[in-house]
A = this chain, B = another copy of it.
Amino acid sequence: MKHLQERQLVSADLCQGSFLHVLRDTVELSNGSLSTREYVVHPGAVMVVPLLEDVDGQLRLVLERQFRYPLRQVIIEFPAGKIDPGEDPFHCARRELREETGYQANFWARAGLLHPVVAYSTEAIDIWFARGLIAGERRLDEDEMLDVFTATPSELMGWCRDGLVTDAKTLVAALWLQNVLSGAWELDWSDSVAGESNGK
């Protein structure tokens, strides 16, 4: 793939906010010409797909509603959050699930990875499934406002089809969920403790 490659010549800060860090690099393209690439440097994130077994054995999903300021909209999402410096993604998955929803999970499986914006961010989101949920108390940051609710897989799929779910990571979670529930894709579940050592 050498004919597609781009080579870094210079890298400089375009801006450093309190949340967003943007770089502007000068690159050499494979045809020898120069170009610039501007992109957000991101620490990475984790999304959790929490599977809740109802008292009657029916599967429900734990979801969130959160106001997303850039879109000026309340968005339906699976629990997710940024990885802390030096944090293991599996640790982050357990922490975010507990902080945002109060749930702890006995069984975990890593599904895969997604890149939300390949054109202008280094962000990668690790996708985890959680089951064997035990309810507990949420520990939201003081200024973190979000609603937790549950839905059936078929409700979620309907919302994806009808445009009520537009968050890319949550739509990707729906792809995983559909194929896991149909048996087409397999997850490698492990218990919370074993998962931790695998994840490290």
In the complex the two chains form, is A25's CB within 8 Å of B69's CB? yes
Q: How far is the CB of A184 from chain B (nearest CB, A)?
A: 8
Per DSSP, chain A at the interface is mixed
Q: Give the residues in chain B near A1, CB-CB below 8 Å.
A: 65, 67, 74, 147
Q: Is the CB of B75 within 8 A of A167?
A: no
A105 to B13 Cα, complex, angstroms: 42
Task: Decide if A74 touches B175 in the complex (CB within 8 Å).
Answer: no
Residue pair B70, A143 in contact (C-beta under 8 Å): no
Q: Which of A1-52 contact B (CB under 8 A)?
A: 1, 3-6, 14-15, 17-20, 22, 24-25, 27, 29-31, 33, 35-40
Q: Is A136 among interface residues, defined by CB-CB distance under 8 A?
A: no
A57 at interface by CB-CB < 8 Å: no
Partner-contacting stretch, out of A83-91, A93-101, A119-127, A192-200: A119-127
Q: Does A131 contact B (CB under 8 A)?
A: no
Contact residue among B6, B68, B157 (Cβ-Cβ distance under 8 Å from A119)? B68
Answer whether residue A181 sits at the interface, using C-beta atoms and an 8 A cutoff.
no
Q: Which of B4, B70, B169 contacts A147 (CB 8 A)?
A: B4
Number of interface residues of A (CB under 8 A): 69
A118 touches B75 (CB 8 A): yes
Q: Assuming the A-B contacts A38-B17, A121-B70, are A166 and B114 also in contact, with contact meaning beta carbons closer than 8 angstroms in the complex?
A: yes
Q: Which of B4, B112, B121 contacts A67 (CB 8 A)?
A: B4
CB distance from A186 to the nearest CB of B (A): 9
Is there contact, CB below 8 Å, between A3 and B145? yes
Q: Which chain B residues border A40 with CB–CB below 8 Å?
A: 20, 40, 70, 120
Q: Is A138 an interface residue (CB 8 A)?
A: no
Q: Is A151 an interface residue (CB 8 A)?
A: no
Binary contact readout A130-165 vs B (1 if CB under 8 angstroms, 0 otherwise): 000000000000110111000000000100110100
